[in-house]
Amino acid sequence: MFSTLRFAAASFALIVSTLSAAAFETTARAAYVLDQSTGTVLLAKNADEPVPPASMSKLMTLYVAFEAVRDGRLKLDERLPVSQHAMSYKGSTMFLNTQDRVKVEDLLRGIIVLSGNDACVVIAEALSPDGTEAGFARFMTERAELLGMTNSSFANSNGWPAVGHRMSVHDLAILANRLILDFPEFYPLFAETEFAFDGRAPSNTHNRNPLLKLGIGADGLKTGHTTEAGYGLVGSARQDDRRVIFVLSGLDSNTKRAEEAEAIVKWSFRQFGEKTIAKAGTPVAHARVWMGAEPSIGLVPVEDITVLLPVLAGDSITAEVVYTGPVNAPIQKGQVLGELVVKPDDLPELRLPLVADRNVAAGGFLVRVRTAANLLLTQFAAGPEGTL
């Protein structure tokens, strides 16, 4: 699959020619699509612009709650009180009242399936450093930044319209990815299509995610809608061994959200496929060794390198092996010596480490003499500095 086309300044160009996948044209104000297994960004539109996230920001409340359960600070069967403040929220609710003490497990399902604004506040007040929703919102902002979400700030726990309550679609994708990876025990909750809590809300028992029943592998995560934010969706779907995470924000109708979300899932799986371009332990290049018992060392990937390519790309990609050479001996097997830089057309480049395929000891006396002699001969052949 690889062929060396040139060598210069310790780099190789490997293989050329790819065909591009047709770009997805979305009417969303902001959008982001990530292939989880390869980390490839398939679509980014206004990805880092902070926008009103509406109920999609409930995912951050859920992340903090899942952490608390995992760490033992909350228990799933623990019953939490409902404050007047929690009860005061309108919109999507579990119809909680101040006489209730609700199990944490029911509150989590109420947030995920029913998008309960009141349920979010009950969780928030239980985990807040100062017992208030505002204090929890400040904690959410700090926790989000530690997760790498640099364009998120929270004014409440549920996405109710508020000044300064903003998230980027890129941040929402980061959060979705972390929820899937960090909490596999809780993630199946996002695929639940119905939750009838205590028979209280017959008009609010169904999950609003339009993809869950379509048979396309969709299994999460959260819808959102306000007048300011428009219609949005943080979604994920898995087909075979591939998972795609996507975020849409600012669509103008529920119907448009459903149509675009389904189209993005189908586009992501149909227009791109995984290809293994290098095998673990198999050299993709050789680097010269300086003062070593051997003249060169193989550069190998630590594990199989699989990249996502447009389905029309065939067997060719653009890639480059880069290292600083010659490499000084001694060299240890597994020592990082360079990178394989993969450059699919219309997709972000990937930089993957390459390591030594074996040990190479420092050369003995004869090697050092031979190397010094070769260096002197090279300098002599080049002539005095400045000679034309």
| CA 241 from centre of chain | 16
Distance CA 304, CA 240 (A): 18
Known active-site residue 153: no
Known active-site residue 266: no
Catalytic residue from among 11, 45, 55, 268: 55
Distance CA 341, CA 333 (A): 21
Beta strands 350-356 and 296-301 are antiparallel
**Angle (nearest 5°) at CA 62 between 59 and 63:** 90
Catalytic residue from among 115, 128, 152, 236: 115
What is the dihedral angle through the alpha carbons of 208, 183, 248, 191, rounded to the nearest 10 degrees? -30
- Residue indicated by tokens 């004014």: 155
* Cβ(168)–Cβ(250) below 8 Å: no
Known active-site residue 115: yes
Residue in 38, 24, 28 with CA at minimum distance from that of residue 245:
38
Residue type present at position 113: V
Residue in 215, 227, 226, 219 with CA at minimum distance from that of residue 246:
219
Q: How many residues are there in the chain?
A: 388
Catalytic residue from among 45, 58, 83, 268: 58
Hey, which residues are catalytic here?
55, 58, 115
